[in-house]
Chains A and B, each alone.
Chain A
Amino acid sequence: MKHGFLTICAAATALLAAGVVQAGTLDTVKARGKLVCGVSLATPGFAAPDDKGRMQGFDADVCRSVAAAVFGDGDKIEFVPTNINTRFQALQSGEIDMLSRQTTQTFSREASLGLDFGPTVFYDGQGLMVAKSLGVSSAKELTDAAICTLPGTTTAQNLSDFFRTIGGKFELVVFESPDENRAAFFAGRCEAISSDRSDLASIRAVANNPDDYIVLPETISKEPLAPAVRQNDSNWRDIMSWSVWLLMAAEEKGITQANVDEMLKSQDPDIQRMLGVTDELGAMLGLDNKWGYNIIKAVGNYGEIFERNVGEKTRLGLTRGPNAQWNAGGLVYAPPFR
């Protein structure tokens, strides 16, 4: 009986410990047959299900590109909506394979949260939006105003830093739910609402009359949004990073979802390597050699993803700005494929 108890204890301990033993993420994902990707709860333009229940958005397409690289099929994927407070835990615990959720890359997150960020997929910055009737043209005039934000993100800290630099004070009103946050702002509880500029665009899009609101010119923080994976798995991190860079390089080389089949016959050695016509780049990452072709076939290039989800023809109506290619005055720059 005594031994029985000890055996049970030992078994329980072993069971708990077994969950931690980490195989390579690529092997785990392949064995499972699908990629599990953490995205936002419901943010139009970044990750939100459409009327057919299919997840649409910029972040969702970044996930699909990785799924396409691994499986040759962008739909072998499961989207897990993650809460802003528990998103990193979901990744750390292995519940998701990758996090693509409008997450800002910062020093302390990378250094202390046990994760590695990939390339910046979206250069964002925190801004402030006010009603036009307020007659304010600069964030510096907002001393003593009340500002609505969401909790926990870097938003509150950036505002606090900004007002400390200009020597002013403000009243912070923090809401857990994005709906309450928007409603309070539209009802006039706060003079201004603060969030990433991309997010302000989607808040403005749902106002009764979007033209009544303006986003102030100041960008009070740098918010490079990047996908992330668990630390200490360089192979998996390489797969994520180079999938994203392939999207960017494809735009630069003019490869689109529509012309990718013709591009297989291209004489450009760069394109040949990217699409797996020559060399064996895919095999170096443990992927199929057609991985690049598969990505573009599944989601299109970076520019196509941008225009489809957040571009000027969408409700968000964002211009490329810093997210244009490096040779078009932007910051999007992929390292060479060779």
Chain B
Amino acid sequence: MNILNDMRFRALCYQIGAIGLVAAAAWTMFATASDNLAKQNIATGFGFLARQAGFVISETAIAYQPTDSIARAIFVGIVNTVKVSLLAAILGTILGLFVGVARMSRNPLLTRLALAYVEVLRNVPLLLYLFLWYSLIILVFPPVKQALNILPGVYLSNSGLVLPAVFVENGAVLLALFVCAGVAAAILIRRIGQQRRIATGKSNHGMAIAALALLLPPLLLWMLGLVSFGWDIPQAGRFRLTGGLHVRPEFVALLFGLLLSVSASVAEIVRAGIQAIGPGQWEAAAALGLHRSRVMRLVVLPQALRLIIPPLTNTYLTVFKNSSLAIAIGYPDLVMVSNTVMNQTGQAIETIAIFMGVYLGLSIAISLAMNWYNARVALRVR
């Protein structure tokens, strides 16, 4: 038989051809771009990353000064992006779960309210919401000079929320060790308690003991005086409050915008998941005498979870990428820092390559984590 008539061989040829075509196109683009840059005397390469950044970033989760390198500045941007998207994803999921369950409620008012919530949030572009939230914060709250003193040491103004900060004065390592040990012990105790309950059919105090195991060791350390805490109280400077913990309006507006948009998507996903569970499950659980809320929590939601996970991955990827809208309202995320770098060094291709690489890498990490979780909860065919 002629090898050219072999279906498998031909399929392989097509695939190799396709890959070759893509690779050739990529190589041509790369070669032409670097050739053109060289012809126009434009600097190339990643050497600029080691240069001094020279600009201030106001919101930094890790230590950073203008004298640090550009690479460090970009890293600060990455941390800021991860911080806001992670918080938005977690809080948005919790909120969305409640809204989604509310959509399925038998109370007509609650159902309609939840429906309105979802429709209003998901049918207007996120960027407009960000402008709205930010303008509201800026215009509704007073300037920092007339900051509202809600509680002793807590100030609210259009420059954000300022809180007294707690910090560990000494014994930080010891405390961390004890907290870790406490968490491990609590998980173990809870699991043992649960197993015993399943075995004996009697309820026990597993949860309470677990909570004690969690709280007692650090408390003991503090009472023995091995760990001490200090307070950083905000103080009024000439223009604004210094010291304490600052929650800036740019961060709040972005977090709010992202988490509300996540919650609307999650609500719909949860509703779809719940509706996909057959009515037989509800009826069977009701026949066992379970209350409606328990049916939801113990029977329906765990089964719905399997259907919820794959679309949820999509939502998380979206929120992570949407966080780049931060640039519109002045939150220093990866894109904003990169833009500043791009303008100072003029090396746009390299900088864009870096932030595309970071987004791609982190997105793939999210997908992998969610796929792993999905594989764990998926129905196993035996």
Query: Which residues of A pack against B, CB within 8 Å?
Result: 9, 12-13, 16-17, 20, 84-86, 88-89, 92, 108-109, 112-114, 134, 141-146, 151-154, 156-157, 159-161, 163-164, 170-177, 180, 183-184, 187-189, 191, 230-232
Q: Which residues of A contact B143 (CB under 8 A)?
A: 187-188
Q: Is the CB of B239 within 8 A of A191?
A: yes
Q: A144-B242, A180-B329 are in contact. List 15 more A-B contacts (CB 8 A).
A: A16-B32, A88-B346, A109-B346, A112-B42, A114-B42, A134-B239, A146-B58, A157-B55, A163-B56, A172-B58, A174-B330, A176-B327, A180-B330, A187-B158, A189-B159
When A92-B42, A114-B40, A144-B239 are in contact, do A189 and B55 touch as well, CB less than 8 Å? no
Q: Please determine whether A157 and B54 come into contact, CB atoms closer than 8 angstroms.
A: yes
User: Does the CB pair B54–A174 fall under 8 Å?
Assistant: no
Q: Say yes or no: is B202 at the interface (Cβ < 8 Å to chain A).
A: no
Q: Which residue of A lies closest to B42 (CB)?
A: A114
Q: Which residues of B contact A (CB under 8 A)?
A: 24-25, 28-29, 32, 35-37, 39-43, 54-58, 66, 131, 134-135, 138-139, 142-144, 158-159, 237-240, 242, 249-250, 327-330, 332, 336, 339-340, 342-348
Is the CB–CB distance between A144 and B238 below 8 Å? yes
10 smallest beta-carbon distances between A and B, as pairs: A188-B143, A152-B343, A114-B40, A112-B43, A114-B42, A145-B239, A156-B55, A172-B56, A187-B138, A113-B346
Q: Give every chain A residue within 8 A of B42 (Cβ-Cβ).
A: 92, 112-114
How far is A84 from B238 in the complex, measured between Cα atoms in Å?
34
Chain B hits for A188, CB < 8 A: 138, 142-144, 158
Q: How far is the CA of A305 from the CA of B159 in the complex (A)?
A: 41
Choose among A9, A114, A176, A232 the residue that contacts B24 (Cβ–Cβ < 8 A): A9
A191 contacts across to B, CB distance below 8 A: 239-240
CB atoms of A180 and B58 under 8 A apart: no
Q: Is A152 touching B340 in the complex (CB atoms < 8 A)? A: yes
Minimum CB distance partner of B41 in chain A? A114
Contact of B343 (CB < 8 Å), options: A85, A144, A170, A171 = A85
Instruction: Kindly state the separation between the CA atoms of A158 and B134 in the bound complex, as whole angstroms.
Output: 27
6 A-B residue pairs with Cβ-Cβ distance under 8 Å, sorted by A, are A16-B29, A85-B339, A109-B346, A157-B55, A176-B328, A187-B158
CB pair A183–B138 under 8 Å, yes or no, is yes
Q: For A141, list chain B residues within 8 Å (CB).
A: 238
Q: Establish whether residues A160 and B237, one from each chain, have CB atoms under 8 Å apart when the complex forms.
A: no
Check B330–A16 contact: CB distance below 8 A. Answer: no
**Are A175 and B43 also in contact (CB < 8 A) when A86-B348, A183-B138, A189-B249 are?**
no
B239 engages A175 (CB within 8 Å):
no
**CB < 8 Å neighbour of A156 from B29, B56, B240, B249:** B56
Smallest beta-carbon distance B199→chain A, Å: 59
Chain A residue contacts of B28, Cβ below 8 A: 9, 12-13, 16
Q: Which residue of B lies closest to A21 (CB)?
A: B39
Q: Which residues of A contact B327 (CB under 8 A)?
A: 151, 176
Enumerate chain A residues within 8 angstroms of B39, measured Cβ to Cβ. Answer: 20
Chain B residues with CB under 8 A of A187? 138-139, 143, 158
Interface centre among A9, A85, A188, A189 (most CB of B within 10 A): A189
